[in-house]
């Protein structure tokens, strides 16, 4: 059984703009405050913070489906946490130091989409999309960028 134990803030401050994306595109979403996520999966508890300044693409939804699953909105917290789990960094770990798997990251996104208020049919379609196509991004492990005075890779310190 999975359960969202805590997300603070539930609606984090984000802004779309030219911050420089990790994949070379000009525009992306920037997180303007730390986002604390606590998610339970069976006997594992993942308690982590997505840091202020994290650059992400929210929901990687094909433009033709934005009418049905907008890339932003009630699912922001799910999309942000999912992008963080898929990124190239140590990643969320449970209370025993075991790293979150791709299947767990996708399940967490689905739970957080529900917690954020996304309708069941839409979150199922979003979840099926990452289950079918997320393997490439998981394998690629895009570098994580944070912004402060200048954009930097998280691995650069």
139: left (phi over 0), alpha (psi -120 to 50) or beta: alpha
The model's pLDDT over 45-104, given as tens digits with 9 standing for 90+, comes to 999 998 888 888 787 777 788 888 887 777 788 988 988 888 866 678 888 888 888 899
Q: Which residues, at least 6 apart from 32, have a Cβ–Cβ distance to it below 8 Å? A: 12, 13, 14, 15, 52
**pTM for the whole structure:** 0.80
- In our burial notation (b when 16+ CB lie closer than 10 A, e otherwise), range 28-66 reads bbbbeeebebebbbeeeebebebebbbbbbbbbbeeeee
Q: Specify the pLDDT at position 1.
A: 60
Indicate if the pLDDT at residue 2 is higher than 80.
Answer: no
Q: Which residue did the predictor score with more confidence, 26 or 83?
A: 83
Question: Is the per-residue pLDDT at 18 higher than 60?
Answer: no
pLDDT tens track for 106-150 = 999 999 999 989 999 999 998 998 888 777 777 766 655 555 444
Indicate the domain borders of the chain.
Answer: 2-144
- Among the ranges given (22-26, 35-39, 57-61), the one the predictor scored with the smallest mean pLDDT: 22-26
Locate all alpha helices (DSSP H) within 64-119, ordered by sequence: 76-86, 102-116
């Amino acid at each position: 059984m999975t359960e969202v134990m805590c997300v603070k803030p539930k609606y984090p401050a984000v802004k779309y703009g030219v911050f420089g994306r990790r994949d070379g595109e000009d525009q992306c979403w920037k997180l303007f405050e730390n986002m604390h996520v606590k998610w339970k999966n069976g006997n594992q508890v993942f308690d982590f913070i997505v840091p202020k300044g994290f650059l992400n693409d929210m929901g990687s939804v094909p433009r033709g489906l934005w009418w049905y699953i907008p890339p932003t909105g009630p699912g922001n917290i799910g999309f942000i946490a999912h992008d963080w789990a898929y990124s190239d960094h140590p990643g969320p770990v449970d209370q025993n130091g075991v790293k979150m798997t791709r299947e767990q990251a996708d399940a967490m996104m689905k739970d957080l989409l529900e917690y954020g208020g996304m309708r069941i049919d839409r979150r199922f379609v979003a979840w099926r999309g990452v289950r079918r196509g997320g393997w490439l991004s998981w394998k690629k492990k895009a570098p994580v960028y944070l912004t402060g005075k200048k954009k930097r890779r998280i691995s650069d310190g």
